[in-house]
Structure 1
Amino acid sequence: MSTITVRLNSDEEKLYKEYAEFKNVPLSTLMKEALQEKIEDEIDLKAILAYEQRLENNEVEYISFDEIKKRLEM
């Protein structure tokens, strides 16, 4: 396990510690979850932008639910 140092000013430290106490989780857990959410948000945004680009280029095919069932032989 590694250790990472994050420098906080006194206002940030107070705010983050109070929020961690409010959520009843360790501050390290709170920070890891926040970073994970940020990463997931950026991955989602990248996927949305790629979809929108495909939509603009008429590269998107819409398939009805019935057609999906038919293709899956359901």
Structure 2
Amino acid sequence: MNEESNGNEFPDDGSTVLAWCRQKDISLRELSKKVGLEPSSLSLIAHGRRPLSLENATKIAEGLEISLDDLRYGPRN
């Protein structure tokens, strides 16, 4: 079990973060500054290489001005 696996993981791997960034025309670097995450950490989350905690999912959703459900399911085109 890795250090971030504590039962507070968001039920998604974070892959929708990239889709939302494209939809909202914001870079991962801009979003990372807005939500207070390191750019490298946000990139790992967005590429499914690091678990997405509920706390970080909440920050990301707020930074993108979307709901947690929207973050989980991605933009609807």
Q: Same fold (TM over 0.5)?
A: no
Q: Which has the higher contact order (CA 8 A, sep 6+)?
A: 2
Q: Which has the higher helix share?
A: 1
TM-score, with normalisation over the residues of structure 1? 0.29
Bigger radius of gyration among the two: 1
